[in-house]
């Protein structure tokens, strides 16, 4: 995914960060913001950290509710490789 835009949406006690790719792909990270500590750049950094943590746990059973087996998207997409899961510089 080649990142072309990053959007932060503040809904009061909830915040979303949208990472938009040039092919129309969108990854949205939704975070609780009850304490109102997340905004702008630190929200983007927190969302990046969440995605990095997800890549550390690539066992499909961990990511699915109830530990049900799931599809490893890297196996489904022959163009994906673990070196390119996150762009080198995704700051905007």
Q: Write out pLDDT tens, residues 32-86.
A: 999 999 989 999 999 999 999 888 776 665 555 555 555 444 444 444 443 444 4
Q: Which residues pair with 15 in a beta bridge?
A: 10, 31
Quick one: the chain helix, strand, coil %, rounded to 5?
Answer: 35, 25, 40
Tokens standing for 76? 């489904």
Q: Please report, for the chain, the start and end positions of each structural domain, with discontinuous segments joined by +.
A: 3-78
3-state SS record for 34-63 = CCCCCCHHHHHHHHHHHHHHHHHCCCHHHH
Task: Name the phi and psi angles at 27, rounded to 5.
Answer: -115, 125
Coil, helix or strand at residue 73: helix
């Amino acid at each position: 995914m080649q990142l072309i835009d990053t959007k932060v949406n503040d809904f009061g006690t909830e915040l979303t960060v949208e990472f938009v790719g040039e092919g129309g792909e969108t990854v949205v990270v939704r975070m609780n913001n009850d304490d109102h500590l997340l905004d702008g750049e630190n929200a983007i950094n927190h969302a990046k950290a969440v995605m990095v943590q997800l890549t550390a746990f690539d066992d499909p059973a961990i990511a699915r509710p109830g530990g049900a087996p799931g599809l490893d998207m890297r196996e489904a997409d022959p163009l994906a490789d673990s070196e390119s899961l996150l762009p080198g510089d995704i700051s905007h």
